[in-house]
Amino acid sequence: MKIFEHELPTPEIFKRKMVVRVALPDNYTPSQKIPFMLLHDAQNYFDTWEGAETKTGTIQILDKLFTEGFPPLALVGVDSWQDRTHMDRFTDLSPWESSECFDYLPSYTDVLVTKAGGRGDQYADFVVQKIIPFVEKRYSIGGNVQKRGIGGSSMAAMASMYIGTKYNNLFSRFSFMSPALWCFEKDFTKYLKDIAPFKDGDKIYMDIGRKETSDPAYKGFEKVYLDGAQNIYNLLKDKAPNISFLIEAEGEHNMPSISKRMAQMFRYLWN
């Protein structure tokens, strides 16, 4: 795939510029109007962070799928904070504030702050009002609801659920991989109970691993992850006509583990 990078000016509230990455199939031509999937934490999907635990090989996975006849698909990635321990990432991705996040992270004493969350609505609006119009004007991608998807993993899975339901008229494909709901679960559950049903043509992919944790020092984190995902699936299944939910026995909360399900996710949503 061919990769392009853009730096967009953002409102002062974000305290940073937003880096947007676009990946197009090698045989893409502007005469085609191909679908795209918008992914948060783009560093994980474009493999720009250091450390093996952050790598997914997503570009290589799609390249291989294309050689097998998979239909053309573009990726649009929105970078999160460059510092992976920076709690502003939590704040950008959640519309709710919480002081409970750090109860689950006893080992992370160097990044503790009073609370996290609260900019999720501004982030959602920026994605929809600025990023999507920018990439659709710059490239021959998207253009209608059937050619737009949204997804992410961990906290970005929750953000994708929120943006995808808040702006359901814009998207038809949804990927929620290894959702990290723990510190915002009460507010998020309350929100999902009141959302409108998904559209008839929508497709949702969701998964979770049985060995997921964000801090081994917190005993029982695996159950927190599993129960949270199961609860969200139970809320979504009656609102979504096409939903796939996978529980991976050996799944862990890191990108190499999540990447093992990436091809399956793409096939379910876009094939």
pLDDT at 113: 62
Q: How many domains does the chain have?
A: 1
Strands (E), 148-259: 148-154, 173-179, 203-211, 243-252
Its domain, for residue 28, covers 2-270
Q: Write the pLDDT tens digit of every residue in 146-173.
A: 999 999 999 999 999 999 999 999 999 9
Q: Write the pLDDT tens digit of every residue in 166-224.
A: 999 999 999 999 999 998 999 999 999 999 999 999 999 999 999 999 999 999 999 99
Q: Write the pLDDT tens digit of every residue in 125-135.
A: 999 999 999 99
Where does 199-260 have alpha helices with state H?
221-236, 255-259
Among 71, 136, 67, CA closest to 270: 71
By DSSP bridging, strand 203-211 and strand 173-179 are parallel
Q: For residue 227, give the CATH number of its domain.
A: 3.40.50.1820
pTM tops 0.85:
yes
